[in-house]
Amino acid sequence: MKHLVFAGACLAAIFTNPAFAEDAEGCEDHPAVTRYPGSDLEWCQIENFLPYKFPLGPVTGYRHIGEIEDIEGRVTRNFYSYKGDDRTHSEIWKNYSDAIKAAGFEIVAEGLFPERNVKPDVGGGSWQGVHLKNNAWNKHGPVAKMVSGTSSSGGTGAVLAKKERADDTLWVAIAVEQHSATEVGVLVDLIETKPAETGLITADAEAMGKDIEELGRTVINGLMFEHDKADLMPESAPALAEAAKVLEAMPDKSFYVVGHTDSSGTYAYNFKLSSDRALSVVNALVADYGVETDRLQPVGVGPVSPVFTNASDGGKEKNRRVELVEK
């Protein structure tokens, strides 16, 4: 019996799943590309606007894919796990490849390797490592299986495709790996290249608290400053309120409040700007939300700790941030 992964609205309508008991909380299939039947959606990450290095060819040098398309847009990343020894990564890869083609996508490149390998070709083991390093996730979870093999790890594969739509281009990067003799991992990345809608992301106290517990730091999303100044704009109030909730929930902890900039301008200018902005956030939290002064220490690091490339506007936007870092 042939199992199909459906891609695109018409095909997706044929395949419905009322409930997936093992799916991670808050995760769901993207309407353009569903799961292989029987798979669990164990991890997901959605960013409204993010740079993405879309690979177009093989590894051509040390940790370097020669052909890359730098794109940016809404990025949805879903990690699926198929558990059992009745299906192989080759069969699952073939289903994704067929479904993508049937839905009218243009195949940019694809490759399949049945056995464990270190091939630099598209879909090979080495290629997959470089591709995933170029597009590293910043949310921990089961997706880490894609870069951590087991004693019974097997082959790998990838499908890279794009589809022109009425108001954007949808890019799809699918990486498949035989994680063990009884598990196949699939990471489906979908990038929708619509222009960014800014001002939509604000801080969330619960999510920030989880970041601190897991990573020791969190970004205060939603802070807005006057252009090239350290003055907080009134629109920052919701983000400051969420940060204050986090601090109230962790009364025994102290934090560095760390300001970051992008790489535009001189180092000296950015170092001062980041320091001044960190101080502005500390002053606001103390004056407006009653946070104890001795719990917060402002620090500016300028452009030296980016989270994305500064080669794109989307990357620069992500790099301009203020973080709470646990002492």
Report whether 155 contacts 90 (CB < 8 A): yes
Q: Name beta bridge partners: 61.
A: 64
Q: What is the pLDDT of residues 127-155, one digit of tens each?
A: 999 999 999 998 889 999 999 989 999 99
The contacts of residue 154 (CB under 8 Å, 6+ apart) are: 88, 89, 114, 115, 116, 177, 178, 181
pLDDT at residue 172 tops 70: yes
Mean pLDDT, rounded, of the chain: 89
Per domain, the residue ranges of the chain are 9-192, 205-326
Query: What CATH number should be reported for the domain whose range is 205-326?
Result: 3.30.1330.60
CB count within 10 Å of CB 114 equals: 14
In CATH, which of 1.10.3470, 2.40.50, 3.40.1130, 3.40.1000 is domain 9-192?
A: 3.40.1000
The string of pLDDT tens digits covering residues 284-324 is 999 999 999 999 999 999 999 998 888 877 778 889 999 99
User: CA-to-CA distance for 177 and 81, rounded, in angstroms?
Assistant: 10
Name residues whose C-beta falls within 8 Å of residue 283's C-beta, 6 or more positions apart in sequence: none
Q: In this structure, are residues 61 and 179 in contact, taking their beta carbons and an 8 Å threshold?
A: no
pLDDT in tens, 195-246: 555 555 567 888 899 889 989 999 999 999 998 899 999 999 999 999 999 9
Residue 82: closest CA among 42, 110, 128? 42
As a whole number, mean pLDDT of residues 244-261 equals 96
Q: Once rounded to an integer, what is the mean pLDDT over residues 77-105? A: 95
Angle at Cα 137 formed by Cα 103 and Cα 31, nearest 5°? 25
